[in-house]
């Protein structure tokens, strides 16, 4: 028997957004489905600098001249990072730089190091999702520099019904969901949903 896959915040978001997207498709039946009016941003900030950590993310912590405190770690389901000697540190809701500063403060406060120098690198981001008229819709691991086209390629490419060239891009920012019109060159972010619509025959 296959193990039961536990839900994650990213997966829960996907389920909710997929349900909303399905409702939108149903309500649009008969009149055709139009693309959103707002164009997706043509450029995005570097996810390595702006990405907000969530439970399950893997990160690399480097403490200068302290190999025993350095290494690759995974945030637990509660969003905490457990480091040798230091123990559990709340780590969600901040960027990698924010977590590095939090760790430096903790090391100073607890007397482990006088002048700690810490860097944090995100190793695994939240996945992105491709829905609609593609050969293999689903959830996929995010990599830096991805675009709508590379996302669709991960999903096996357009199927014969897929409307090529422009898609619906669903993005959540600050807890708010927004839909954009996007082309194949549009960059995507962790957690984005790319929805390929059906072409008009």
Residue 191 has what pLDDT?
A: 95
Q: Which two tokens stand for residue 84?
A: 């040798």
The CA distance from 56 to 92, in Å, is 10
3-state secondary structure of 148: helix
| Residue intervals in the chain for CATH 3.10.560.10 | 9-46+125-196
| Residue intervals in the chain for CATH 3.30.1950.10 | 52-122
- Residue identified by tokens 């770690």 is 73
- Give the model confidence (pLDDT) of 57-85 as tens digits: 999 999 999 999 999 999 999 999 999 88
The CA distance from 45 to 31, in Å, is 37
Please give the C-alpha separations between residue 55 and each of 30, 91, 107, 118, in angstroms, as whole numbers. 41, 8, 22, 20
Residue 61's CB is within 10 A of a number of other CB atoms, namely 22
Write b or e for each residue in 154-165: b if 16 or more Cβ atoms lie within 10 A of its Cβ, otherwise e: bbeebeeebbee
List the chain pLDDT tens, one digit each, 201 residues.
444 444 455 555 555 555 544 444 433 333 356 778 888 988 888 999 999 999 999 999 999 999 999 999 999 999 999 998 889 999 999 999 999 999 999 999 999 999 999 999 999 999 999 999 999 999 999 999 999 999 999 999 999 999 999 999 999 887 889 999 999 999 999 999 999 999 876
CATH C-level class of 9-46+125-196: alpha beta
CATH C-level class of 52-122: alpha beta
Q: Residues 149, 109: contact at Cβ < 8 Å?
A: no
CA angle 72, 113, 88 (to 5 degrees): 45
pTM comes to 0.78
């Amino acid at each position: 028997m296959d193990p039961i896959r536990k839900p994650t915040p990213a997966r829960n978001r996907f389920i909710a957004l997929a349900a909303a997207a399905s409702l939108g498709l149903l309500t649009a039946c008969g009149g055709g489905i139009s693309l959103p009016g707002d164009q997706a941003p043509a450029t995005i900030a570097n996810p390595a600098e702006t990405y907000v950590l969530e439970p399950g993310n893997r990160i690399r912590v480097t403490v200068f001249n302290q190999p025993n405190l350095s290494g690759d770690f995974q945030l637990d389901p509660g969003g905490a990072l457990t480091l040798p000697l230091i123990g559990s540190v709340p780590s969600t809701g901040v960027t990698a730089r924010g977590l590095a500063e939090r760790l430096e403060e903790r090391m100073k406060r607890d007397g482990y190091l006088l002048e700690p120098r810490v860097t944090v690198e995100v190793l695994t981001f939240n996945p992105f999702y491709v829905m609609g008229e593609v050969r293999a819709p689903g959830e996929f691991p995010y990599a830096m520099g991805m675009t709508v086209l590379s996302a669709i390629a991960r999903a096996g490419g357009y199927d014969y019904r897929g409307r090529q060239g422009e898609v619906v891009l669903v993005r959540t920012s600050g807890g708010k969901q927004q839909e954009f019109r996007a082309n194949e060159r549009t960059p995507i972010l962790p957690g984005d949903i790319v929805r390929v619509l059906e072409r008009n025959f």
